[in-house]
Structure 1
Amino acid sequence: MPLGGEQVPQNLDAVAVRAWCGLALDALGRAREEIDAINVYPVADGDTGTNLYLTVESASQAVDAAFTGLDPTHPTLAEAARAMAHGALIGARGNSGTILSQLLRGMAQVLGADRDTDHADGQALALALRRAAESAYQAVAHPVEGTVLTVAAAAADAASGADGDCGAVARAAYDGACRALDATPEQLAVLGRAGVVDAGGRGLVAVLGALVGALSGGTASPYVKTAGSGGHARVEPAEPIECQDASVDAMAPAFEVIYLLEADDTAVARLRRRLDGLGDSLVVVGGDGLWNVHVHVDDAGAAVEAGVEAGRPHRIRITHFGVGDAHTAGAAQPPRERTQRAIVAVVPGEGLAGLYADAGATTVPTRPGEPPASGELVEAIRHAHAREVVLLPNDAELRHTAAAAAEQARTEGVRVALIPTRSAVQGIAALAVHEPDRRFDEDVVAMTSAAGATRYAELAVAERQSWTMAGICQAGDVLGLIDGDVAVIGDDTTRTARSVLDRMLAAGGEMVTLVLGDDVPDSLGEQLEKHVREVHLAVDTVVYRGGRQSALLLIGVE
């Protein structure tokens, strides 16, 4: 639906879905800082507004893509609704974004049921809102009232009692959501103590207000929390939130783990049970073979390993909360104090992501051929929520991207030191000497020195015939690259790795780090460890599983 002066529809069609996404993104953009500031539950990490904005941004981009190249034929309502839900699923951030994606998926299940119609009436919209609330409750392992779930259910109840077209139903849902949001401090003690409403519910009110605007052409009255229990005032809608499971505990888990997972329903059911035993704030959303998994745990590696056993996890994000009692907040100040120092690292593969996270780093995992943009690095620095940040790009190609992210973060008041690590093994060496209690400059110097003293290598498979520093390679050859240059060309992975190790250790070394990719067996690590022990005396070897990464093998020599 055009955002300009044309008559807006009172029934929901594909154009209205597109307008809804755009208006919701605008509303969340305006309310992002407000929602971040009242984010005290389940973890006061001050990112609910940001996570909701990024989730809706992904949904909006997916709907825009559905319209691309189709003029003058628009996508159907079913296609637009599915695109919106899928975009939210793959772009969901944090607990808040994960739950919002399930709300949109529930709506899409109803709006896409009749593929022969190009619009939905008021009754269908009310059914969609009901299905959205039900599916969100089902996705949360331990639902808690006084959260976005309560607000979604109230919106569905109000919509079910409304008469009229989609515009009337949407406005009733918005009014019901506002009343429910007002009551959240009475339902959840942590909100009452902080004097705030639920951040996720506040976000959902913003999204529903945008739906009112998309259907009626007007604007929902801005939501404003009332001072008492009676009535509610309105103010501009903001965005959806994160909802959690159990009661807030001062000894909260240390890590937030999020990943997309390709798996069947049976495997996901087992995964839910395992993750529920590992931590809290468990939300698993999706279906049809693609899921978004969110959990708070102390053992990030175990959470990722559970995903590997269930299917194929990717887009793994592990964040170290970095606070002791993360749930203490006042009404008039940011809910979470910044930690003094944090490490943000780009890592290839879920195995290394778990390793770095266990060492206390906020990670930005990558997939082969998908390097992170500077905006993702800036977001990771913000999420680390520290006064001082050490940034480890772990890739020579990311030097300029990381520098741009560091400069942006500095303008926001964060002291950022960029250590130009060119490989994940150099980052491991830097982490090994990191001491957060010493002066920042001293810590950075020590980490930079450790990274610089670590030679790095990798094994890869040649994709085509080409000239290299070691001669001409053919497609399928195993290449051994030392410090970025091809030094060995071979036809066998083990022999090539041995040759690379011998060359690197000829100049001396005390420690060898091996990171195995998905495409090589554990026996490779065992053979190389034995080779180092027998040929290069007094050199220790440590072996890690890196998971899905572009290299067959990463090698570090310190």
Structure 2
Amino acid sequence: MPRVPQTLDAEAVRSWCAGALAALGREREEIDAINVYPVADGDTGTNLYLTVESAARAADEAFAKRSPQAPDVAEIIRAMAHGALIGARGNSGTILSQLLRGMSAVLAEGGDGDHLARALASAAEAARRAVAHPVEGTLLTVADAAAAACAAGGELVTVARNAHDGARTALDATPGQLDVLRRAGVVDAGGRGLVAVLGALVEALTGETPAPSAEPPHAPVVLGDCPPEGGSGGPAYEVIYLLEADDTAVETLKARLDALGDSLVVVGGDGLWNVHVHVDDAGAAVEAGVEAGRPYRIRVTHFEARPEPAGRAVVAVLPGDGLAGLCAEAGATTLVARPGETPTGTDLAEAIRRAHAREVVLLPNDTELRQIAAAAAEQARAEGIRVALIPTRAAVQGIAALAVHEPDRRFDEDVVAMTAAAGATRYAELAVAERQSFTSAGVCQAGDVLGLIEGDVAVIGQDLTATAVTVLDRMLSAGGELVTLVVADDTPAALATTLEQHVRTTYLAVDTTVYHAGDGAPPLLIGVE
């Protein structure tokens, strides 16, 4: 008979994380299938899984750092909460991260039953504060019920069981509280995920698997037939980012984002926040974050690009918010790569899942991402998604590929056409040298302007415009019909105008297109087709 702990220790927390991840892994597809609120996009189970995966990874890392000794419970609890915060995905995942953060502050003080009861109450209160407009019949309601069911405290296992039972009972009642659930004949997807997480806590403490929820039977849900509560439409984009900012700036940010859209959830504290909102103007949501502090790991998802888990989608990694918004408007699921913040295989695999399509074309748009993208594609294939990786080496190649994308033709034909368009696009980039270095064009000094063609330094100059003209001339010497210029926010506004004029007067048969990459992109990207 397994030992029943009287306090929540570090090993029990790690077991809880692992168990919650396993439970959500088993139930992910079923939770995705009943996801009809706040947006019927069929990814709540996946988002909860990825959030807990990040928490579990952080817990394991806390053990690895202290090996061979185990960390104390306060340390691993905080690691778990921080991991959930930085890895939170979607509306429900963001709320779950706040629940774990709310619990961590109390459990760091002690791990007995009374502390667990207080932790659940603190978590439910913190999660409700994080949501701009709380709605009953959701994960928040289930969290409240879990806290209320164990408010009297008691032994640790008793508190955990009472919380799970209270959450399960509240979950079964959610269709009577939210009309969109009643019409679809399902319980709340986020609430079901929380029941799984609390069930994993009971199992970690007792070794016993709790009985499943007695949720009402339901017919298969057709996602397109289940609009958000209160209307048949809804914002076009989901915007998520991490934000470094102080409390005062975040309060102002909440007001701005609340005016822009809905499903606003802002969680975190101590200078680090996870921001989630649904809006029609993705650029404005990101700009609001820039004004508040430093946003990063920005993810923009176009809801209309994935109305049903069928058809084809394009997933693209872009070097700036402007390009991400542009490609999202063209129907792509995008991932923004910041300087010094290379996307991980998990990030790319999640983006493929967010595309919510049976067939996905993946555009890494960076030579260094090719192996990472290949691993993410293999992971998605193992989940039953057909993925084609086009080894685009620059954003301009990705733009060229997306321009010829036609989801109505056969998958292989579409991939061939996109690959050909990318391969026919020569690319260049302007960068500023950070230190003295030996290059293929000679020795550069810190502050020199470097013109890279196909990844190799071809020109070293002191002036951005002069270097750009030299690079452009070298590329067009081999011919070309279309020049694509991608400029960053901090690039002088006159640069693009000067280059357009140069092409117009020097190369009469060549057209020019200019795009704005936004913040965080290289000063200039050039594509020649």
TM-score scaled to structure 2, two decimals?
0.90
What do residues 179-238 of structure 1 show as CA deviations (whole Å, max 9, x unaligned)?
Answer: 1011011111222222221111111111111222333x232522231559xxxxxxxxxx
Contact 1:263-1:290 within 8 A present in 2 as well: yes
Q: Is 1:28 the counterpart of 2:24 in the alignment? A: yes
SS at match of 1:120: coil
Q: Name 1:478's counterpart in structure 2.
A: 449
Q: Is 1:313 the counterpart of 2:295 in the alignment? A: yes
Q: Name 1:300's counterpart in structure 2.
A: 282
Q: Which moved more, 1:22-31 or 1:173-182?
A: 22-31
Q: Which moved more, 1:464-473 or 1:272-281?
A: 464-473
Q: Name 1:349's counterpart in structure 2.
A: 320
Q: Is 1:250 the counterpart of 2:221 in the alignment? A: no
SS at match of 1:488: strand
Alignment CA distance shift 1:418-1:436 (3 Å): same
What do residues 389-409 of structure 1 show as CA deviations (whole Å, max 9, x unaligned)?
Answer: 222121233334434444554
SS at match of 2:358: strand
Q: Name 1:546's counterpart in structure 2.
A: 518
Q: Which moved more, 1:183-192 or 1:397-406?
A: 397-406
Deviation at 1:492, TM superposition (A): 2.9
Q: Which moved more, 1:512-521 or 1:169-178?
A: 512-521
Alignment CA distance shift 1:522-1:271 (3 Å): farther
Q: Name 2:213's counterpart in structure 1.
A: 224
Structure 2 counterpart of 1:96, which letter? S
Contact 1:462-1:474 within 8 A present in 2 as well: yes
Aligned match of 1:171 in 158, 161, 165?
161
Q: Name 1:436's counterpart in structure 2.
A: 407
Q: Name 1:240's counterpart in structure 2.
A: none
Contact 1:343-1:392 within 8 A present in 2 as well: yes
Q: Is 1:426 the counterpart of 2:400 in the alignment? A: no
Q: Name 1:189's counterpart in structure 2.
A: 179
Deviation at 1:104, TM superposition (A): 0.9
d(CA) in 1 for partners of 2:49 and 2:524? 37
Q: Name 1:129's counterpart in structure 2.
A: 120
Contact 1:532-1:541 within 8 A present in 2 as well: no
Q: Give the aligned CA root-mean-square deviation in angstroms.
A: 2.7
Alignment CA distance shift 1:54-1:490 (3 Å): same
Q: Is 1:154 the counterpart of 2:153 in the alignment? A: no
Contact 2:202-2:210 within 8 A present in 1 as well: no
Q: Which moved more, 1:512-521 or 1:51-60?
A: 512-521
Matched ranges for 1:154-553 at <5 A: 154-160=145-151, 162-215=152-205, 217-225=206-214, 247=229, 249-322=231-304, 337-410=308-381, 412-517=383-488, 520-533=491-504, 535-537=506-508, 539-549=511-521, 551-553=522-524
Structure 2 counterpart of 1:52, which letter? L
Alignment CA distance shift 1:30-1:305 (3 Å): same
Alignment CA distance shift 1:491-1:323 (3 Å): closer
Matched ranges for 1:86-165 at <5 A: 86-112=82-108, 114=109, 119-160=110-151, 162-165=152-155
Q: Name 1:241's counterpart in structure 2.
A: none
Contact 1:456-1:482 within 8 A present in 2 as well: yes
d(CA) in 1 for partners of 2:216 and 2:48? 26
Alignment CA distance shift 1:407-1:109 (3 Å): closer
What do residues 263-321 of structure 1 show as CA deviations (whole Å, max 9, x unaligned)?
Answer: 22222222222222222211111111111111122222222222222221111112222
Q: Is 1:85 the counterpart of 2:81 in the alignment? A: yes
Contact 2:179-2:229 within 8 A present in 1 as well: no
Q: Name 1:237's counterpart in structure 2.
A: none
Deviation at 1:541, TM superposition (A): 4.1
Structure 2 counterpart of 1:207, which letter? V
Identity %: 72
Deviation at 1:457, TM superposition (A): 0.4
What do residues 8-60 of structure 1 show as CA deviations (whole Å, max 9, x unaligned)?
Answer: 42122333322221222222222222222222222222221221111111112
Q: Which moved more, 1:24-33 or 1:48-57?
A: 24-33
d(CA) in 2 for partners of 1:64 and 1:407? 24
Q: Which moved more, 1:442-451 or 1:95-104?
A: 442-451
d(CA) in 1 for partners of 2:453 and 2:41? 41
What do residues 158-179 of structure 1 show as CA deviations (whole Å, max 9, x unaligned)?
Answer: 111x342222211111111111
Contact 1:129-1:155 within 8 A present in 2 as well: yes
Q: Name 2:220's counterpart in structure 1.
A: none
Deviation at 1:387, TM superposition (A): 3.1
SS at match of 1:457: strand
Runs of at least 5 residues in structure 2 that lack an aligned partner in the other structure: 218-226
Contact 2:39-2:228 within 8 A present in 1 as well: no
d(CA) in 1 for partners of 2:290 and 2:199? 39
Q: Name 1:76's counterpart in structure 2.
A: 72
Q: Name 1:61's counterpart in structure 2.
A: 57
Contact 1:299-1:358 within 8 A present in 2 as well: no
Alignment CA distance shift 1:323-1:420 (3 Å): closer
Aligned match of 2:38 in 34, 39, 42?
42
Q: How many residues align?
A: 519
SS at match of 1:12: coil
Alignment CA distance shift 1:407-1:187 (3 Å): same
TM-score scaled to structure 1, two decimals?
0.85
Alignment CA distance shift 1:252-1:111 (3 Å): same
Alignment CA distance shift 1:412-1:220 (3 Å): closer
Deviation at 1:458, TM superposition (A): 0.5
Runs of at least 5 residues in structure 1 that lack an aligned partner in the other structure: 229-244, 327-336
Contact 1:256-1:319 within 8 A present in 2 as well: yes
Contact 1:300-1:358 within 8 A present in 2 as well: no
What do residues 100-121 of structure 1 show as CA deviations (whole Å, max 9, x unaligned)?
Answer: 0011111123234x4xxxx333
